[in-house]
Amino acid sequence: MSDPFINMYSDTVTRPTPEMRQAIAEAECGDDMSGDDPTVNRLEAMVAERLEKEAAVFACSGTQSNQMGVRTHCQPGDELLIADTGHIANFEAGGPAVLSGVTCRLLPGENGMIDVDDLEGKLRADNQHLCRTRLVCVENTTNAGGGRPWSLDQLDRVGQWAHENGLKTHVDGARLFNACVAGGYTAAEATRHYDTVSICFSKGLGCPMGSILVGSAEDMAAARRSRKLFGGALRQAGIVAAAAVYALDHHVDRMADDHANARAFAEALAEHDGIRIDPEDVESNLVFFEIDPEIGDATQLATKALEMGVKVGASGAHRLRACTHLDVDREQVLEAAAIIGRCVEAGVGDLVGSATGPYSRG
């Protein structure tokens, strides 16, 4: 094992590779606020072309780019429709309400994915007493829904239904390229019926920070204004954008390794009594598993595992989440599963407190 501490809390913990650091060091920079940073401009054009959209706007974080998308499509008093596990509704500090005056209407969906049957009948009447249903948001891959990639058929159905009913559409693609690798489709195919798409660079792509919003030229002009309003206008951002350019060139296809490691981790966990997991449910780099209540709770297990050198997150009373990424290899994930198994076999019910903090999408 190359590192005695195995951090599987999130793929946000990745560190830039030496090659990415070199790209950062050599980045050509300018004033992005004025549209004069050549590396940011290159990144925006690169992502827009890959998704077959007109334009893109670089942002500081996935939360920021999601909220730029919400504000682009909605007015105060509007509502958006989203799965009840959706990050925009649950893990962005009430951003739609605080920043744009928008209500989130939560819909039940299997594995964090809504379908047309979930959307039918949810449009509010054109009545002055009611908020206006304006936007449909999807998350691909789902996070709290289990790390699942959407199928193209379902993505198409939902996007087409929304447009046929006069609604706008947004993809929270924090792990979009994980979905593409797992689902066997391109980013353009996955987003062809969606008006705006947010992609995060600081997760599986391994960048130190950054996100991007993609869509029509008109929508991106509005989003750029929102970015300024939200305090996200940047200056010499090329040093960050260079990492994203490098990642798009070198770190997308390798996500298949993360997915294979996640499945191996799940299979190893499944061998231990007291842990409930079906490895067939693991389709990307996120692994959710449960601990039997008589052994203890998720917080206690996460605390004990951290003491033993493995960091995972509690995401419910007895549910935990682990995440594979480019900074953990096959040997490490198997060692992590063995350590967690030993913790469970020893029992964790006498422990109190948590070293992992509250669950978030990170």
Tell which residue, 122, 212, 205, 199, has the closest CA to residue 158: 122
Angle between helices 38-51 and 238-250 (to 10 degrees): 40
The stretch 271-285 carries a mean pLDDT of 97
pLDDT at 360 over 90: no
pLDDT of residue 354: 42
DSSP, res 141: S
- Evaluate if residue 359 carries a pLDDT over 50: no
Beta strands in the chain (DSSP E): 6-7, 55-59, 78-83, 103-107, 132-139, 168-173, 196-200, 211-215, 275-276, 286-291, 310-311, 313-314, 319-323
Peptide bond into 141 cis (omega under 30): yes
Cα separation, 138 vs 117, whole angstroms:
15
| Mean pLDDT, residues 255-284 | 98
pLDDT of res. 50: 98
Q: What letter represents residue 103's amino acid?
A: T
Give tens-digit pLDDT for 123-164: 999 999 999 999 999 999 999 999 999 999 999 999 999 999
Cα 56 from Cα 287, distance rounded (Å): 31
Confidence of residue 349 (pLDDT cuts 50, 70, 90): confident
**Residue 329, both tokens:** 């290899």
| 254-346 CATH pick, 3.40.50.300, 3.40.50.1970, 3.90.1150.10, 3.40.50.720 | 3.90.1150.10
- Provide the percentage of residues in the chain whose pLDDT is more than 90: 94
Residues forming CATH 3.40.640.10 domain(s) in the chain: 17-250
At a CB cut-off of 8 Å and minimum separation 6, what does 241 contact? 27, 37, 39, 40, 42, 43, 58, 210
Task: Read off the pLDDT of each residue in 302-306 and give the average, rounded to a whole number.
Answer: 96
Q: Is the pTM of this model over 0.75?
A: yes
| 17-250 under CATH 3.40.640.10, yes or no | yes
Q: Is 50 helix (H, G, I), strand (E, B) or coil?
A: helix
Sorting pLDDT into bands at 50, 70 and 90, what band is 101?
A: very high
Query: Could you tell me where in the chain the CATH 3.90.1150.10 domains are found?
Result: 254-346
The residues near 231 (Cβ < 8 Å, ≥ 6 apart) are none
